[in-house]
């Protein structure tokens, strides 16, 4: 009997995956940490609250947001020439972002595994629909561009044909001695 009977391709892939599963998980986790650091300069933020959710948490959060927006409006009215208002805006923006990140860290879900199966399936369906929608949109844009290109080609061919016809007609008249003929 053979020591290594030939395995089906699916079995070979499954065996390979099982051997390298931990390595792949570690690489993926490292990649997620790098992307989180790159976008938010923080390791622990995975899913942030929306700004609307943040401002609706309590009166204190709403007050921070309103103060920031009112200061922006004052700066717009004065033309951003009042240094005191700009310093106040900088301070309020700092307070708002610090509080927002702290709140988002405490309220956010830390990882994919913390979602329930129902939430996971909803997210997967949503991402699938989004991908299909984007692909359909791209396909539609490509079809429109192709149609526009075909129209331009036809128009170019027509203009070249009429140009050639006009040249042939002018040459014909020239050979027969008709100058400035009305036809």
Cα(139)–Cα(134) distance, integer angstroms: 9
* Overall average pLDDT of the 117-145 stretch: 88
The per-residue pLDDT for 139 is: 93
Nearest to 64 by CA among 108, 97, 105, 106: 97
pLDDT digits 0-9 by tens, 82-117: 788 888 888 988 888 888 878 777 765 546 667 788
**Greatest pairwise CA separation for the chain in angstroms:** 99
* Overall average pLDDT of the 18-28 stretch: 80
Cα(80)–Cα(131) distance, integer angstroms: 43
pTM: 0.33
Query: Which tokens go with 105?
Result: 């860290």
* Overall average pLDDT of the 62-82 stretch: 84
Count the residues in the chain. 183
Lowest-pLDDT range, 10-19, 27-36, 104-113, 129-138?
Answer: 104-113
Cα(162)–Cα(106) distance, integer angstroms: 73
Domain boundaries defined on the chain:
49-105, 122-172
């Amino acid at each position: 009997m053979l020591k290594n009977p030939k395995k089906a391709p699916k079995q070979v892939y499954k065996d390979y995956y099982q051997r390298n599963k931990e390595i792949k998980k570690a690489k993926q986790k490292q990649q997620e940490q790098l992307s989180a650091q790159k976008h938010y300069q923080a390791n622990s933020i995975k899913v942030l609250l929306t700004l609307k959710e943040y401002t609706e948490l309590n009166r204190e959060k709403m007050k921070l947001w309103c103060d920031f927006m009112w200061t922006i409006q004052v700066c717009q009215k004065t033309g951003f020439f009042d240094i005191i208002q700009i310093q106040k805006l900088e301070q309020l923006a700092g307070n708002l972002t610090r509080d927002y990140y702290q709140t988002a860290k405490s309220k956010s879900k830390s990882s994919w595994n913390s979602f329930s199966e129902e939430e996971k399936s909803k997210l997967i369906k949503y991402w699938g629909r989004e991908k299909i929608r984007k692909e359909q949109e791209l396909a539609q844009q490509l079809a429109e561009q192709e149609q526009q290109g075909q129209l331009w080609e036809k128009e170019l061919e027509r203009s070249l044909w009429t140009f050639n016809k006009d040249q042939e007609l002018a040459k014909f008249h020239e050979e027969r001695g008709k100058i400035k003929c009305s036809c």
